Amino acid sequence: MSAPVGPYSPWRRAGEWVILSGQIGLVADATSPTLIEGGAAAQLRQALANAKVLLREAGTDFDAVVKATLYLVDMDDFAACNEVWVESFAPPRPTRSTVAVKQLPLGARAEAELWAYAPSA
């Protein structure tokens, strides 16, 4: 998986919580940070695929995600990103806020931040 584009941890455990930094649609295993092509929905799909890898690394999975924040550069992408969300999360889906932003790192169109409740075994 690509390294973060800034000086931060991609995820941290805080007690019973695993908190993922915002994920953008970086191509997995790229030698330099490269966004996947195809717009906000494709980028969100890749960002969530990357998030799955990070959650697995932290010892948990999408079933433990209870809160998410989705950042979109263009709210016209809301419906398409909702379709990706439905594909990605089984009911009951995480609670979610969606926020319109002026811009995201590397020109990304979508970013997802996830919180998973994952008590240690």
Instruction: Look up the CATH number of the domain holding residue 87.
Output: 3.30.1330.40
For residues 50 and 3, the answer to whether their CB atoms sit within 8 Å is: no
Give the Cβ contact number of residue 61 at 10 Å. Answer: 12
Is position 4 within any domain?
Answer: no
Specify the DSSP class assigned to residue 35.
B
> Which strands, in side-by-side order, build the sheet including 95-100?
11-14, 17-20, 110-117, 65-72, 95-100
pLDDT by residue (tens digit) across 78-105?
Answer: 999 999 999 999 999 999 999 999 999 9
Is position 25 within any domain?
Answer: yes
Is position 55 within any domain?
Answer: yes
Question: Can you point out the beta strands (E) in 1-121?
Answer: 11-14, 17-20, 65-72, 95-100, 110-117
pLDDT above 60 (res 121): no
pLDDT by residue (tens digit) across 20-39?
Answer: 999 999 998 778 889 999 99
Is position 3 within any domain?
Answer: no
Is position 1 within any domain?
Answer: no
Is position 5 within any domain?
Answer: no
Question: Which residue range forms the structural domain that includes residue 76?
Answer: 11-117
